[in-house]
Amino acid sequence: MQVRAGLQGPALLLPGPKSSRRSQKLSQFGITIALVRGSKREIKRGVWELRVSLGKDPISGKYKVLSKTFHGSARAADAALRDLVDENGTNRADGTGATVGQLLDRWLEECERLDLSPTTLRTYRAQIKQTIRPRLGKVKLNQLTAKHLDGLYGVMKDAGASPKTIRNHHAILSSALHQAVRWGWVRSNVAERARPPRAAQRRVHAPAVEVVRDVIEEAERRDPRLAPLFMLAALTGMRRGELCALRWTDVDLTLGVLDVSRSVVVVPGGLAEKTTKTDRSRKVALDPVGIALLTAHRAHVDEWIAEAGGELAPDAFVFSPFIEATTPFRPDNGTGFFIRVRDAVGAPDVRLHDLRHFTATQLIGAGMDVRTVANFLGHADPSLTLRVYSHAIEERNRAAATIMGQVLAARKEPAGLPSGA
């Protein structure tokens, strides 16, 4: 407990243990003794500062204090302080008394330490803030059950959330609770006993060749700086962040190879570069069409910068809104431009990411083996390619069955002719 005394009079905040009673008496003589983790101080009449010690952070080694302003009577302030102490368990380092909300805060810190994508972290924070924390944030970890989680999933379903969205939230809780098990905060992961709804594999819909051509031609008419990005996306299946991060130093037009090792993401305050989604670099081959595309685009870039009297940066980006090309296009700007173009050609359901699906289905349809397609797209595991593009593979299987049927079908004699005629 902590007892404060001074000009404003003593403020005994919470009942302390028996051993602290003598210390409490000393406060009557103006002595401040820091024995508790909660305190209140009247700033002015009816306005209180509530302070709660959060203990020593095991990572930074620093002590943390939570401060909150409260308006009301002294008795109401005491009640508010008790609630604040209850909401912020004492020993967060060992998880004693910790809540789900506190675990999620520490788990997000771990995600940052492990350098997760800023986009992924932004999604996690939004889902925790909007859905998980309001319902489960104050639940103590040692009281959390699978029923709590099933209740959350039921509320989300009633609100219209899709099974995939619910499973995404389940994945956050499961990962955070797994971390709590590793830290020794809890003995078991209750998420393993929860039952989120099954999410059926969504069938990928790739745009037709004619639609892709119309989009690229319309983009060329509207903005020749971005049109090559769409064409390259369709040729290589690269992700939009990878396309935006591509520099001329990554392009070898002689060998016809792209070095894909980075991705551009939007972060608070601007843009940042990170590794690819799978944290792996890969070489993407270019055919004569791709080589001609980037050769023509480089000629245009050199022409634009010569007209402006500038100089292309040594590490210039291939796709940039600026002449010197020191800053890449924002991925969301590319998506916004794509939406305007696709709407103009009458394809409102096509997304920029669907160009990647277009690449994959065209390669599989042409008979390319799944492992090669997976490497080309930058999938970490060919099994992912099998799951996402299973329908395209099934179509190839049917085509293979037709071929074998034609090869081995019994020969039929023309009607009316004798055998051997």
Specify the CATH architecture of the domain 209-377. Orthogonal Bundle (1.10)
pLDDT of residue 3: 34
Ordered DSSP codes for 111-175: HHHTT--HHHHHHHHHHIIIIIHHHHTTSBGGG--HHHHHHHHHHHHHTT--HHHHHHHHHHHHH
Q: CATH 1.10.150.130 in the chain: give the residue spans.
A: 100-193
The pLDDT, as a whole number, for residue 223 is 93
Domain 100-193 superfamily per CATH: Tyrosine recombinase, N-terminal domain (1.10.150.130)
DSSP secondary structure string for all residues of 325-353: --SPPPHHHHHHHHHHHHHHTT-TT--TT
Q: Which of 296, 302, 277 is nearest to 381 (CA)?
A: 277
Is residue 143 pLDDT above 60, yes or no? yes
- The whole-number average pLDDT for the span 172-187 is 94
Confidence of residue 370 (pLDDT cuts 50, 70, 90): confident
- CB pairs under 8 A, 24+ apart, for 88-92? 88/52, 88/54, 89/140, 90/37, 90/55, 91/55, 92/54, 92/55, 92/57
Name the residue with higher pLDDT: 244 or 415: 244
Per-residue pLDDT of 98-131, as tens digits, reads 899 999 999 999 999 888 888 889 999 999 999 9
**Cα→Cα distances 121→61, 108, 334, Å:** 24, 8, 22
pLDDT band at 18 (very low <50, low <70, confident <90, very high): very low
- Average pLDDT of the segment spanning 369-377: 88
286 secondary structure, DSSP code: -
Q: What residues does CATH 1.10.443.10 cover in the chain?
A: 209-377
Residue 332: per-residue pLDDT: 93
Residue 199: Cβ within 10 Å count: 13
Query: How far, in Å, CA of 380 to CA of 383, rounded?
Result: 9
